[in-house]
Amino acid sequence: MFWFEQTKDIIQNHVMRSPDPNVVIVKKCKVIPIECVVRGYITGITSTSLWTHYKEGKRDFGNFVLPNGLEKNQKLAEPVFTPTTKSDEHDRPITPAEIVAEGILTKELTAKLEVTAKALFKRGEEIASARGLILVDTKYEFGLDEDGELTLIDEIHTPDSSRYWKADTYNARFKEGKDPEYFDKEFLRLWFKDNCDPYNDKILPKAPPELVAELSRRYIEIYETITGKSFVHDFSQPIVVRITNNLLKKHDK
């Protein structure tokens, strides 16, 4: 909810109300079948990451061209827009020109997506920087509401869709050729990359409990760092009971 509040002056979002910490009531929107990825740094380990393509020799990405000589984890001259298709299998990188050429979206709407995504990213960078963090890259999803208005949907700037690094150690670690200190799920991606082929294996191994616990710890830390609020575990009642009671309270009103 924090990020939706912090960005509602840039674009309207689908949030109507949140009757429970685990529940958000949202407006029904027609989902735009494009994932809007914005990257401020060249990094990543997956087959779709900017760094993977770059080290394989790619420089021209359709709507932007990267210079030679970049190093992993280096800051880009300016954030770049690298959209992908939405797919049940694997997302496919696609340029704005291809989005229009394939008849997925109009030229006007495609341009609006890029402008809006970059504006959201800039806001995210500013807020993260004030908290001692670097917003490295992220993904936005949009839809059209019943009036046809562009609407931010799903989630925004959480560690599920965003990469965060610790700001005060970034420069020194980059100069030493070390990976930045990160607060997202990158370490879990690395574990799966070392133990399976996450893009092709039909059945993935179960992550060790200690990794799951570490993921929770990191998510709590990033939540508290960004929002300035303490994460409170509510064990007073089973979560399903609590959610049901809160939904009933709102319904009665």
The reply to whether 215 falls in a domain is no
42-73 burial code (b ≥16 CB/10 A, e <16)? bbbeeeebbbbbbeeeeeebeeeebeeebebb
pLDDT of residue 251: 62
The reply to whether 122 falls in a domain is yes
Cβ 34 vs Cβ 40: under 8 Å: no
pLDDT of residue 81: 98
Domain carrying residue 45: 2-183
Please write the tens of the pLDDT for every residue from 144-181.
Answer: 999 999 999 999 999 999 999 999 999 999 999 999 99
Where do runs of H (alpha helix) occur along the chain?
2-7, 50-55, 96-101, 107-130, 170-175, 186-195, 209-227, 239-252
We report the CATH number of the domain holding residue 165 as 3.30.470.20
The reply to whether 213 falls in a domain is no
The reply to whether 137 falls in a domain is yes
d(CA 110, CA 118): 13
d(CA 43, CA 163): 10
Q: What is the pTM of this model?
A: 0.92
d(CA 43, CA 149): 33
SS3 187: helix
The reply to whether 86 falls in a domain is yes
Question: What domain count does the chain have?
Answer: 1
The reply to whether 202 falls in a domain is no
The reply to whether 119 falls in a domain is yes
3-state helix, strand, coil in the chain (%, to 5): 35, 20, 40
Structure tokens at 94: 């696609």
The reply to whether 229 falls in a domain is no
Query: Which residues of the chain register pLDDT less than 50?
Result: none
